């Protein structure tokens, strides 16, 4: 099975800060990588698919990059509504797998 490792597991940042989260796959997964945001008490919401494509309606401050085993997710200017947990997810091979999550809090 492919293992997805996210870092950091949590971070605290101020409004307007640039936030970067990394996701490493245990084997190469091309660009078959998605990013989700889960607000407390809510279901996850897709933000980025295929490593770098912005889901419809998602603000342009969110971006993703990478291929192979190393991926990066960036929030260019953190907003209060961005708090919550972010997950990466690979779909190269079954079983599909999520990273352990990165909890983002406001400083």
Where do contacts with another protein occur on this chain (CB under 8 A)?
A: 32, 34, 36, 42-46, 49-50, 53, 55, 87, 89, 91, 94-101
Residue 84, strand partner residues: 104
**Quick one: CA torsion of 88, 91, 92, 93, rounded to 10 degrees?**
110
End-to-end CA distance of the chain: 36
The CB density around residue 93, as the number of other CB atoms within 10 Å, is 13
Smallest gap from residue 16 Cβ to another protein (A): 28
49 versus 82: smaller Cβ distance to another protein: 49
Smallest gap from residue 59 Cβ to another protein (A): 17
17 versus 68: smaller Cβ distance to another protein: 68
Residue 63, strand partner residues: 74
78 versus 89: smaller Cβ distance to another protein: 89
17 versus 54: smaller Cβ distance to another protein: 54
What is the DSSP secondary structure assignment for residue 81, as one 8-state letter?
A: G
Smallest gap from residue 87 Cβ to another protein (A): 6
Smallest gap from residue 48 Cβ to another protein (A): 9
What sign does the CA torsion over 20, 26, 32, 36 have? negative
């Amino acid at each position: 099975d492919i293992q997805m490792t996210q870092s950091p597991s949590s971070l605290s940042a101020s409004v307007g800060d640039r936030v970067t989260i990394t996701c490493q796959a245990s084997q190469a997964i091309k660009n078959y990588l998605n990013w989700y945001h889960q607000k407390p008490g809510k279901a996850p919401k897709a933000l980025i698919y295929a490593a770098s494509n912005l889901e419809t309606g998602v603000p342009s401050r969110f971006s993703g990059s990478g291929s192979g085993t190393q991926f990066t997710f960036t929030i260019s200017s953190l907003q209060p509504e961005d708090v919550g947990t972010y997950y990466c997810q690979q779909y190269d091979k079954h079983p599909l797998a999520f990273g352990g999550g990165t909890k983002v809090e406001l400083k």
